[in-house]
Amino acid sequence: MARGRFILLEGCDRAGKSTQCTMLVDALKAKDLSVELYKFPDRTTTIGQMIHAYLTNSKELDDRAIHLLFSANRWEAMQEMKRKLSAGIHLVVDRYAYSGVAFSTAKGLDLTWCKNPDRGLIRPDITFFLDLPTSEAERRGGFGDERYEKRELQENVREVFLKLKDKEWTVIDAKKSILAMHFEILRETELKIRDGEKDGRFA
């Protein structure tokens, strides 16, 4: 059986990641593909609840401690994600290790130190980076409620993201309409899924 594809949507806060993840999952399901949605942080686990308390300012934590919790929150999902990919299920993932590195580095931690705890996590097959200037993000719903939703930090985060960007990322202009972004993401995803069937690397 062909292995499922790991499709990651990354980007700045309010760039539309969650909106696009839901639309992509629905579109792939409508094409009779098996697909599941993952979101990081996963706030439903014990570790995720600690992260949520930190993000909503009800708990203080050392910058390194919270960084490690975000990473642990990915590690606790790894076995299940691997099993699903092996079973031919495509995974659409809302944020991942790049967010982890971008936010903690933007706060002032060392880049290499930030990357280390995520070493060994499964790699995405396709990474979409939804790029949105901070001034635009601020105008969108809900901006300003959580700990990291501050202009200066967001600008630093975007700079780190652009440094982490490699040639395999697909950059999506998140100033576009929801539908325009959706069609772009869907088209690239379908190409990637078809490629996988041809080259057989994931058999």
Residue 23 CB, nearest distance to Na ion (Å)? 13
Question: Using the rule CB under 5 A, is 18 a contact of Na ion?
Answer: yes
Distances (CA, A) of 108 to 102, 104, 150, 203: 10, 7, 15, 42
Question: Taking the complex as a whole, how short is the minimal distance between the CB of residue 195 and Na ion, in angstroms?
Answer: 28
**DSSP conformational letter for 140:** S
Residue 6 binding result from ligand T5A, Na ion, none, given CB thresholds of 5 to 8 Å by partner type: none
Site for Na ion contains 22 (CB under 5 A): no
Tell me the angle at which helices 46-55 and 63-75 cross, rounded to the nearest 10 degrees: 140
Task: Give me the residues that bind ligand T5A (CB under 6 A), please.
Answer: 13-19, 40-41, 55, 70, 95, 99-100, 103, 140-141, 148, 176-178, 181
Measured at the CA of 96, the angle between CA 18 and CA 172, to 5 degrees, comes to: 55
Nearer to Na ion, 181 or 193 (CB): 181
Question: How big is the site for Na ion, counted in residues (CB under 5 A)?
Answer: 2
- Told to check if 170 binds Na ion by CB under 5 A, we report no
Rounded to 10°, the helix 151-164/97-106 angle is 130
